[in-house]
């Protein structure tokens, strides 16, 4: 769709394969992402209230469900978005499902758990309707659409059945539904006649999701500074927390994410499913870790004037930051195909981050060391790029 046509949406335009070389995120996609901003924030609240292994597992599980809901919707739009009125209504329906999930996310062990399931089913039904349109109007995509329909249909069925099942059995049905939801689409990518993904649009959308989650770290600094007051130690801690968030952004967009995009755009058609699948799924631990980092940063700023951080906050901050760096390292090593450079950074950052939090220093000292480490990592990335150890494309 060109710029002139984009000014007026068509009431009915059957789905078609996206072949435009300059395909970019649409205003509808950006609007859709707003619901996930709220969802991620509500998930972070779960971890903030319970910084234990139990709280961390619930947080990671719920956020993973939401991430897959976002990713599966994005993969459909990547291939078949024609931005007609029907597509917009289906996307807005899915967005409503995300809103319902976000509203219920912190009370899934009670009656609100059924509303959480209803929200997920609503997203699946919108996707099923979309793939049924593809089946009807795009004959060359029917083999791909069929597997997505099976997967999303089975996933929706498990979640619908869970409405009549009490906890904890309900959660097992949720897990089975998400598993079915993931396995069949993954199989679709391995078909000989699989519909290709749009390799310019894909990294842009996943990069936007990373920014969305990174925004939680910035919000965490604001919240921590607001609630803790303007004590000198709090100010320094907040400044270091902001530098840390900026460092995490820089590492993704100028290093690991850039290396991944280069592989996608230069060789994605040759090594289709291996490259695409890894690229999509490695963003799950990366996004979960980033969301947890925001919780650690907020609590570090809140307690910036204290002598020590609690063991829970240190654990969240250390494990989450290390998890992010480890996920970025996997992306960079596998897709960038430069293992030695990856071991220097961000690989070396993983044990160093854990060492910093294990030292049990004051909040301001802990954050100062963390900020210094991430800033040093950014500088190391520059040197690796200049030495040819990392080859990137602009994300």
pLDDT in tens, the chain (395 residues): 444 444 455 677 778 777 666 678 899 999 999 999 999 999 999 999 999 999 999 999 999 999 999 999 999 999 997 788 999 999 999 999 999 999 999 999 988 999 999 999 999 999 999 999 999 999 999 999 999 999 999 999 999 999 999 999 999 999 999 999 999 888 887 888 888 888 888 999 999 999 999 999 999 999 999 999 899 999 999 999 999 999 999 999 999 999 998 888 876 554 456 788 899 999 999 999 999 999 999 999 999 999 999 999 999 999 999 999 999 999 999 998 889 889 999 999 999 999 999 999 999 999 999 999 999 999 999 999 888 888 887 76
The CA distance from 333 to 236, in Å, is: 34
pTM for this model (two decimals): 0.93
Separation between Cα atoms, residue 6 and residue 296, nearest integer Å? 42
Question: Which positions ≥6 away from 101 have C-beta within 8 Å?
Answer: 39, 65, 66, 69, 116, 119, 120
168 cis-preceded (ω within 30 degrees of 0):
yes
Assess contact for 67 and 281: CB atoms under 8 A. no
Cα separation of 83 and 70, whole Å? 18
Angstrom distance (rounded) from CA 320 to CA 280: 19
Closest Cα partner for 17 from 142, 138, 181, 176?
138
- Supply the DSSP symbol for 168: T
Element (H, E) at 344: none
């Amino acid at each position: 769709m060109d710029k002139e046509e984009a000014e007026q949406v068509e009431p009915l335009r059957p789905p078609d394969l996206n072949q435009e070389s300059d395909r970019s995120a649409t205003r509808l996609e950006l609007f859709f992402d707003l619901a996930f901003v709220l969802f991620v924030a509500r998930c972070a609240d779960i971890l903030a209230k319970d910084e234990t292994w139990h709280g961390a597992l619930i947080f990671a599980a719920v956020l993973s469900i939401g991430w897959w809901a976002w990713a599966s919707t994005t993969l459909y739009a990547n291939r078949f978005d024609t931005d007609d009125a029907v597509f917009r209504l289906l996307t807005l329906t899915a967005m409503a499902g995300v809103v319902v999930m976000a509203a219920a996310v912190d009370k899934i062990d009670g009656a609100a758990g059924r509303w959480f399931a209803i929200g997920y089913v609503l997203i699946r039904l919108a996707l099923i309707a979309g793939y049924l349109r593809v089946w009807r109007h795009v004959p060359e995509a029917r083999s791909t659409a069929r597997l997505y329909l099976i997967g999303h249909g089975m996933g929706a069925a498990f979640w619908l059945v869970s409405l009549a099942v009490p906890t904890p059995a309900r959660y097992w049905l949720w897990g089975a539904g998400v598993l079915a939801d993931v396995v069949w689409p993954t199989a679709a990518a391995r078909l000989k006649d699989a519909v290709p993904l749009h390799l310019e649009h894909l990294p842009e959308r996943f990069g936007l999701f990373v920014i969305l989650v990174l925004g939680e770290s910035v919000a965490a600094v604001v919240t921590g500074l607001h609630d803790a007051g303007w004590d000198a130690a709090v100010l320094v801690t907040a400044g270091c927390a902001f530098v840390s968030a900026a460092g995490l952004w820089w590492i993704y967009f100028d290093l690991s994410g850039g290396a991944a995009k280069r592989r996608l755009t230069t060789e994605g058609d040759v090594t289709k499913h291996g490259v695409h699948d890894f690229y999509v799924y490695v963003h799950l631990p990366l996004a979960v870790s980033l969301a947890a980092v925001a919780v650690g940063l907020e609590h570090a700023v809140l307690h910036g004037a204290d002598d020590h951080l609690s063991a829970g906050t240190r654990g969240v901050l250390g494990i989450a930051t290390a998890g992010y760096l480890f996920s970025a390292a996997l992306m960079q090593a596998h897709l960038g195909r430069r293992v030695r450079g990856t071991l220097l950074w961000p690989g070396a950052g993983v044990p160093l981050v854990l060492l910093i939090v294990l030292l049990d220093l004051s909040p301001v000292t802990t954050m100062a060391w963390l900020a210094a480490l991430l800033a040093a990592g950014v500088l190391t990335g520059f040197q690796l790029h200049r030495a040819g150890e990392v080859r990137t494309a602009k994300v």
